[in-house]
Amino acid sequence: MSDKSIPVITLDGPAASGKGTIAERVAASLGFHYLDSGALYRIATLAALKAGVSLDDAESLTAVAEKLSPVFKDGRIFLEGEDVTLAIRSEEVSAATSRVAVIPGVRCALFELQKKAAQLPGLVADGRDMGTVVFPDARLKVFMTATARVRAERRYKQLIGRGETADLEALTADLEERDRRDSKRETAPLKPADDARILDTSDMGIEEVVKKVLTWWNDAQ
Rounded to the nearest whole angstrom, what is the least distance from the CB of residue 156 to ligand C5P in the complex? 15
From CA 171, how far away is CA 206, in angstroms rounded?
A: 21
Instruction: Report the residue number, 34 or 41, with the smaller CB distance to ligand C5P.
Output: 41
Rounded to the nearest whole angstrom, what is the least distance from the CB of residue 158 to ligand C5P in the complex? 12
Instruction: Report the residue number, 6 or 130, with the smaller CB distance to ligand C5P.
Output: 130
Instruction: Report the residue number, 170 or 218, with the smaller CB distance to ligand C5P.
Output: 170
Instruction: Report the residue number, 44 or 210, with the smaller CB distance to ligand C5P.
Output: 44
Backbone angles phi, psi at 12, to 5 degrees: -110, 160
- Residue 80, phi-psi category: left (phi > 0), alpha (psi -120 to 50), beta (remainder): left
Rounded to the nearest whole angstrom, what is the least distance from the CB of residue 89 to ligand C5P in the complex? 8
Nearest to 115 by CA among 98, 94, 103, 129: 129
Rounded to the nearest whole angstrom, what is the least distance from the CB of residue 221 to ligand C5P in the complex? 25
From CA 183, how far away is CA 36, in angstroms rounded?
A: 19
Contact status, residue 190 vs residue 128, Cβ threshold 8 Å = yes
Rounded to the nearest whole angstrom, what is the least distance from the CB of residue 128 to ligand C5P in the complex? 4
Q: Is the peptide bond before 70 cis (omega within 30 degrees of 0)?
A: no
E strand spans, the chain: 8-12, 33-36, 71-73, 76-79, 82-83, 123-127, 140-145, 197-200
Binding region for ligand C5P (CB under 6 A): 15, 37-38, 41-42, 97-98, 101, 127-130, 178, 182
Contact status, residue 157 vs residue 27, Cβ threshold 8 Å = no
Instruction: Report the residue number, 37 or 172, with the smaller CB distance to ligand C5P.
Output: 37
From CA 109, how far away is CA 43, in angstroms rounded?
A: 13
Rounded to the nearest whole angstrom, what is the least distance from the CB of residue 94 to ligand C5P in the complex? 6
